[in-house]
Chains A and B, each alone.
Chain A
Amino acid sequence: MAIIECSNLTKVFRLAHEPRRSVKESLAAMLRPRVYEQFKAIDNVSLSVAPGEFISLIGPNGCGKSTLLKIIAGIYQPTSGELTVRDRISPFLELGVGFNYDLTARENIYVYGSILGLSRRQVNEKFDDIVRFSELERFIDTPLRNFSSGMYVRLAFATAVQSDAPILLFDEVLAVGDERFQRKCFALFEKMKYQEKTIVFVSHTMDSVMRFSDRVILMDRGKKIMEGPPEQVVTAYKANMKT
């Protein structure tokens, strides 16, 4: 049975040309009809992901990959269509979203961990792993505001991957970090595949898409236009981009 199932998902955003954010604007807007522009970010997309599968979503900017990921993550509600997710999800749409610059790395690990659904005890157990993976042993009691962006990302990634959810969503998280760190991330992906985690991966880096995916989905302007083995879809995408 599929672990993630989307059938005929559509997401329409209403782009208001005059947003009403205050009473004055609301009163003024009452006098005239409001103009909306409909924007279909996701257009009738069906997709099913089997447990343990590594799926990549590719496509040009604005094609709806990230919106689709947000719908699967439960952050956005679809306008129409059905979404069934049969297990727990950990979304990594952006790293370190719960981080606070005034807290130390140690405190942030606990906060972020709890946001990802880990209990304090679970974080305690994994604490050493997180610190080792992030290579920030010396800075563990330093406030985050003194961190470089590279250190920040390492800490975030190291904490995020401790999540024990069986479904993981990644949005362009490999675009950060130096080569050595990326290698570590790749090793981790291998491990996750071995652990048979279900992964939905959004990326513009075709090398990593080719390397890990079981299946690739190409999107454009909100529609799913192609689906198949990595090599075939990536080649088609590359050819498409040139024209």
Chain B
Amino acid sequence: MRFSLLKELAITDFKLRYKNSVLGYLWSLLKPLAIFGSLYLVFSIFVRFDVPNYSLFLLLGILLWNYFTEATLNGMHALETKSTLLTKINVNKFTIVLASNVTTLLTLVLNLAIFFVILAFVKPEIGWTVLALPLVVANLFMISLGLSLALSVWYVRLRDLSSIWEILLQIGFWVTPIIYPLSMVPDRFLGYIGLNPLHRIIHEGRQLLIELIWPRPSSMLITTAIMLLFLALGYVVFKSKEKNIAEEL
């Protein structure tokens, strides 16, 4: 039952997001592509990074980061945008936040498919490592969902959170090695970068899809454990607040 609600909400949101727009879904690809295009211009022609397959390196980083941004922002607003529903029917609130993340996930899957098309042109080789991609996507999904859950209930009480989170995402974009390689980070900062969960995900994604090497199993295990922790914490926050949310909306 809950699954049918999830499916219905996620697909409807996906349809609505691009209703009445000529290019429809293409927009969700064009946006990261535009960011990619301008950054690629600056960092491969004006300033040069010594990274093999820099275009793929950059594009994958942006697609994954872009998912994180959209999923958490949409997730944060999920309860508030459904306030008319939540104050009239006792629908499962977890499903609502989950559905908003699933909608964004659909976009990521489509974007990744296009990434593979580009990959086929730029560097037509692929390894068994691609089989571990679902794990990377699952990790990304878990941390985004965990944060969405916590943000969605906090946001109902504190509307500033929307601006605060946007600023944090902006900072996050620059402190995460998305446009620059890890090798450019001075040694004394490496420890901090290692703490960045998004870096772990993007780094592993790049290893699997572009460098075609397997990350150390222990490292992947730690990544998954961190993401599970985020999800669990988000869920606990959500559960502690969700009961009274209808009155706050």
User: Is there contact, CB below 8 Å, between B8 and A73?
Assistant: no
User: Is there contact, CB below 8 Å, between A100 and B12?
Assistant: yes
With a cutoff of 8 Å between Cβ atoms, the chain B residues found around residue A116 in the complex are: 89
Cβ of A61 < 8 Å from any Cβ of B?
no
User: Is there contact, CB below 8 Å, between B246 and A75?
Assistant: yes
- Give me 17 other A-B pairs in contact (C-beta within 8 A), A97-B88, A107-B15 excluded: A13-B247, A21-B158, A23-B164, A26-B158, A73-B89, A75-B86, A75-B87, A76-B247, A77-B244, A91-B90, A93-B89, A97-B89, A103-B16, A111-B9, A113-B8, A116-B89, A117-B1
5 residue pairs of the A-B complex, CB under 8 angstroms, read A26-B158, A75-B86, A75-B246, A114-B5, A114-B8
With a cutoff of 8 Å between Cβ atoms, the chain B residues found around residue A75 in the complex are: 86-90, 246
Cβ of B84 < 8 Å from any Cβ of A?
yes
- Which residue of A has the minimal Cβ distance to B87? A75
In A1-49, which residues have CB < 8 Å from any B CB? 13, 20-24, 26
User: Is there contact, CB below 8 Å, between B91 and A115?
Assistant: yes
Q: Given A102-B20, A107-B12, do A115 and B5 touch, yes or no (CB 8 Å)?
A: yes
Cβ of B4 < 8 Å from any Cβ of A?
yes
Please provide the 3 A-B residue pairs with the shortest distance between their CB atoms, ordered closest to farther: A114-B8, A74-B90, A97-B88
Cβ of A51 < 8 Å from any Cβ of B?
no
Interface range on chain B (Cβ under 8 Å from partner): 20 to 34
Cβ of B19 < 8 Å from any Cβ of A?
yes
Q: Which of A20, A26, A100 contacts B16 (CB 8 A)?
A: A100
User: Is there contact, CB below 8 Å, between B4 and A120?
Assistant: yes
Cβ of B243 < 8 Å from any Cβ of A?
yes
Chain B residues near A (Cβ < 8 Å)? 1, 4-5, 7-9, 12, 15-16, 19-20, 84-91, 157-160, 164, 243-244, 246-247
**Complex: how many Å from CA A177 to CA B193?**
62
A contact residues, total (Cβ < 8 Å): 33
Say how far A79's CB is from chain B's closest CB, in angstroms: 10
Q: Given A76-B246, A91-B88, A94-B88, do A111 and B12 touch, yes or no (CB 8 Å)?
A: yes
Cβ of A170 < 8 Å from any Cβ of B?
no
Say how far B79's CB is from chain A's closest CB, in angstroms: 13
Q: Given A21-B159, A77-B244, A97-B84, do A91 and B4 touch, yes or no (CB 8 Å)?
A: no
With a cutoff of 8 Å between Cβ atoms, the chain B residues found around residue A94 in the complex are: 84, 88
Main secondary structure of the interface of A (DSSP, over half): loop
**Complex: how many Å from CA A113 to CA B12?**
13
Say how far A211's CB is from chain B's closest CB, in angstroms: 26
Cβ of A84 < 8 Å from any Cβ of B?
no
Cβ of A54 < 8 Å from any Cβ of B?
no
With a cutoff of 8 Å between Cβ atoms, the chain B residues found around residue A120 in the complex are: 4, 7-8
Say how far A109's CB is from chain B's closest CB, in angstroms: 11
- Which residue of B has the minimal Cβ distance to A112? B8
- Which residue of A has the minimal Cβ distance to B156? A21
**Complex: how many Å from CA A168 to CA B179?**
56
Say how far B165's CB is from chain A's closest CB, in angstroms: 13
**Complex: how many Å from CA A24 to CA B101?**
30
Cβ of A152 < 8 Å from any Cβ of B?
no
Cβ of A127 < 8 Å from any Cβ of B?
no
Say how far A130's CB is from chain B's closest CB, in angstroms: 15
Say how far B76's CB is from chain A's closest CB, in angstroms: 15
Say how far B20's CB is from chain A's closest CB, in angstroms: 7
Candidate in B19, B89, B247 with the most chain A CB atoms within 10 angstroms: B89
Say how far A169's CB is from chain B's closest CB, in angstroms: 10
User: Is there contact, CB below 8 Å, between B84 and A114?
Assistant: no
- Which residue of A has the minimal Cβ distance to B91? A115
With a cutoff of 8 Å between Cβ atoms, the chain A residues found around residue B4 in the complex are: 114, 118-120
Say how far B1's CB is from chain A's closest CB, in angstroms: 6
**Complex: how many Å from CA A113 to CA B91?**
12
Q: Which of A22, A91, A93, A107 contacts B160 (CB 8 A)?
A: A22
With a cutoff of 8 Å between Cβ atoms, the chain A residues found around residue B244 in the complex are: 77
With a cutoff of 8 Å between Cβ atoms, the chain B residues found around residue A119 in the complex are: 1, 4
With a cutoff of 8 Å between Cβ atoms, the chain A residues found around residue B15 in the complex are: 103, 107
With a cutoff of 8 Å between Cβ atoms, the chain B residues found around residue A111 in the complex are: 8-9, 12
**Complex: how many Å from CA A94 to CA B83?**
13
With a cutoff of 8 Å between Cβ atoms, the chain A residues found around residue B246 in the complex are: 70, 75-76
Say how far B104's CB is from chain A's closest CB, in angstroms: 18
With a cutoff of 8 Å between Cβ atoms, the chain A residues found around residue B87 in the complex are: 75
Say how far A144's CB is from chain B's closest CB, in angstroms: 12
With a cutoff of 8 Å between Cβ atoms, the chain A residues found around residue B86 in the complex are: 75
